[in-house]
Amino acid sequence: MAYGTVAIGTALGAVAFLYPYLAQAPITLAMPGAVLAVCVFVVALEGPTRKRIRALLESDPSLQVASWEYSAEAWPDVVRAAPGPGWSLTLMVTALTTVCVALVAGLGTQDERALLLAAAWAVAWGAGMQAVFSHRDAALVRHPRRRLHMTRSMVMLGDRIYILNPEPALSGVVANTFLVECAALPRFSADPDTRFAGTITWTSAQLSRNSRRRLVHRFLVPSEHAQDVARVVAAYTEIAAPNRADPALALPS
């Protein structure tokens, strides 16, 4: 709620203060408009794509590894512990779009107010992204399917998808992510919370044009499924074997 208030308040304040500048040079709105248009396009595709992926994963037993259900009491803690988009993504996207807004507005108008527009964009966009992520986390807590669904290529927590490895059957999902390791950490004996048997961790290498990044996804293991952990780790270790043998996918130590 706070992030949304900051985003909307900053956007309205910027429009009110910079209206003469924006009305005089419509080019100043070209980059903000383009970024928002891309976001609308992505959101429009996200729902159908998620439904298609879920239907495929649930209909093809060969892709499935395991599925864990959580109790209503444990589910909020599972969601809070699950990895989600963090400040690093927000800062990266905000910085990139802010530079683009400043360049287009500044070069198009030769006006110093382009810097004020870029500053307002940075605050509004960054707060807006965090508001969206917070809303999605809250929606996941209320999700009726309290399940961690594991497949050969990805895991689904409720309605949230984490890609672990390429999957030929999902050729429409593009992600240069390659699973290299799966491990489990048992619950510490001193931990009084007996709802969970520990955590299971997937480590993947994400490749970009000029870099290689480590992705780590950790999820809590429900105590009633503790006996499944060894089998799940063995299955994913086998799935990751070809990637571990590839020198191009070696992660930095």
**Domain definitions of the chain by residue range:** 2-249
Q: Is the dihedral of CA 36, 40, 43, 49 positive or negative?
A: negative
DSSP state of 198: E
Are 201 and 216 spatial neighbours (Cβ–Cβ below 8 Å)? yes
Phi, psi of 184 (to 5 degrees): -125, 145
What tens digit of pLDDT does each residue of 55-108 get? 777 777 777 888 899 999 999 999 988 887 777 778 888 899 999 988 888 888
CA–CA distance, 173 with 154 (Å, rounded to integer): 11
What tens digit of pLDDT does each residue of 205-252 get? 888 767 778 888 999 999 999 999 999 999 999 999 999 888 888 877
Helix (H) or strand (E) holding 75: helix 75-81
pLDDT at 170 over 70: no
Q: What is the torsion angle, in degrees rounded to the nearest 10, for the CA atoms of residue 188, residue 190, residue 192 and residue 197?
A: 20
pLDDT at 1 over 70: no
What confidence score (pLDDT) does residue 139 get?
A: 87
What are the structure tokens assigned to 84, written together?
């989600």
What is the percent of the chain with per-residue pLDDT over 70, rounded to a whole number? 93
What average pLDDT score do residues 183-197 get?
81
> Which residues, in sequence order, are bridge partners of residue 202?
182, 217
DSSP state of 18: H
Q: Compute CA 43 distance to the chain's CA centroid, rounded to the nearest angstrom.
A: 13
pTM exceeding 0.85: no
